Amino acid sequence: MTPEGSRYLHGTSPIEQRRLSRLNDLINRASLGELGLVGGERILEVGSGLGQFARSMARAAGPSGRVLGIERSREQLAGARRAARAEDQAGLVEWRRGDVLDLPLRRGEWGTFDLAHARFLLEHVPEPGRVVEGMLRAVRPGGRVVLEDDDHDALRTWPEPPGFTALWNAYIRSFDRLGNDPAVGRRLIALLHEAGALPRRNTWIFFGSCSGSADFPAYVENAAGILRGARRAVVEAGLLPAETFDAAIRSLDAWKRHPAAALWYAISWAEGRRPARRVTGARHSRS
């Protein structure tokens, strides 16, 4: 989910929707474990996408909790509602269309949430600090803001698939062409601090696997899907010739059958709290 003026690099095609759904299947349990929900929390999910993680949080928060999912993309919201209905969970999360730079919260909702959460959002936003400031205003004094995002330099594969390093580096550079930061994961604590939050904890969520693990093909296919979704942006920007791009993708697809292949990656995770006093450091406040 991206705010007005931003462009989500991977688009919202049905293929991308399926990739995102499979990605949620791989990481939601670990993300939920780090949140440590105890039940009854009021949760704001910023950039809720297909809503799988929002529904996971709602189940953990229980009947006395509340989850509000904010998403700009009509396609993503429609997909979230379809998935919720398919699992008989249509009323589990409240969905609301809106932009992360102007959160569509009602007057009585500001400063009431126990937790505001965003995942894989800030890497697609030219001004991530503004997003974090809005999230901080949304939580109550003492409430938590949790950010999960990528630092694409963290990826390692071994043995290296032929052409993969050049392909991955071209993909990283495509973020710059859109005014976004592919290494925003290393900045999460700084973004919390600059927004006026009190940083409390940072960690990694391991996102990797190796040959011999039943889920290894799914991890490799996710990486290939990410890259395929960025093909147009990479090629049109002149970052890599089309034939070189396609050859590297074929190499990656073949690599997942290598008997000693391993993929190493980690998602950056950071938590801050809203001070008990009124936040005065945010640049964009609303009354």
Per-residue pLDDT of 112-143, as tens digits, reads 999 999 999 999 999 999 999 999 999 999 99
Q: What is the pLDDT of residue 285?
A: 40
Among 268, 9, 58, 34, smallest CA distance to 155 is for 268
DSSP 8-state secondary structure symbol assigned to residue 100? T
pLDDT band at 278 (very low <50, low <70, confident <90, very high): low
Q: Is residue 187 part of a domain?
A: yes
> In the prediction, which pLDDT does 255 show?
97
**Statement: the pTM of the whole predicted model exceeds 0.95:** no
Residue 156's domain comprises 14-273
Alpha-carbon span 245 to 238, nearest angstrom: 11
Mean pLDDT across the stretch 87-105? Answer: 95
Residue 283 counted as domain residue: no
Angle of the 14-35 helix axis to the 216-229 helix axis, nearest 10:
120
Rounded CA-CA distance 287/285 in Å is 7
- Sheet of strand 139-149: strand arrangement: 94-97, 66-71, 42-46, 113-119, 139-149, 266-273, 198-206
Q: Are 183 and 168 in contact (CB under 8 A)?
A: no
Q: Is residue 239 part of a domain?
A: yes
- Please report the pLDDT score of residue 280 as a whole number: 46
CA 234 to chain centre: 21
- Whether 284 is in a domain gets the answer no
**Sheet containing strand 262-264, strands side by side:** 156-158, 262-264, 209-210
4 part of a folded domain: no
Q: CATH number for the domain including 130?
A: 3.40.50.150
pLDDT per position as a tens digit, 19-76:
777 777 889 999 999 999 999 999 999 999 999 999 999 999 999 999 999 999 999 9
What is the C-alpha to C-alpha distance for residues 46 and 36, in angstroms, rounded to an integer? 18
Decide if 90 is inside a domain: yes
Whether residue 180 lies inside any domain: the answer is yes
Cα distances (Å, whole numbers) of residue 213 to 30, 209, 228 = 17, 7, 24
Q: How many domains does the chain have?
A: 1
Asked whether residue 7 is domain-assigned, the answer is no
